[in-house]
Amino acid sequence: MKTLESIKNELAMLRKEAEGQLSKRESKALEKRIKGLYACQLYLETMPTQEFIEKQKTDVSKKIKSISAGFDKWLSSNPSESDNIKNPKSKYNTLMGLKNMKAQLVTINFLLG
């Protein structure tokens, strides 16, 4: 599991790197990485246990599977939606917040890795 100290060290290293000459593309990628690590830092400052994070991973995984499995039911209960929308699966995923849950799962896996 990642520690608060390791995240702080990586953040410091990335911030030093950001001070150098970087292309616009590299700068944006680095900024995105720093924001993600900062969010991890804030989360780890709450001192969650490894068991708690693993439970969150299980819960989020179950929610993702449940939401994915519910698409057909949603589609059959909203036939007018499927006719008016170009990509109903994308609309369903947006309504259910699947993108955010998948991002949360990636972050949890990062912290546990």
Tens of pLDDT, residues 54-99: 999 999 999 999 999 999 888 888 777 667 788 888 989 999 999 9
Amino acid present at 12 = A
Residue 49: the pLDDT is 95
Whether the pLDDT of residue 110 is over 90: the answer is yes
Whether the pLDDT of residue 39 is over 80: the answer is yes
Going by C-alpha positions, the residue among 5, 17, 11, 1 that lies closest to residue 33 is: 11
d(CA 36, CA 11): 10
Instruction: Answer yes or no: pTM beyond 0.75.
Output: yes
Contact at 8 Å (CB) between 64 and 105?
Answer: yes
What is the residue-wise DSSP string for 13-78? HHHHHHTS---HHHHHHHHHHHHHHHHHHHHHTT---HHHHHHHHHHHHHHHHHHHHTHHHHHHH-
As a whole number, the mean pLDDT across the chain is 92
The average pLDDT across 42-47 equals 95
Residue 81: the pLDDT is 66
Whether the pLDDT of residue 46 is over 90: the answer is yes
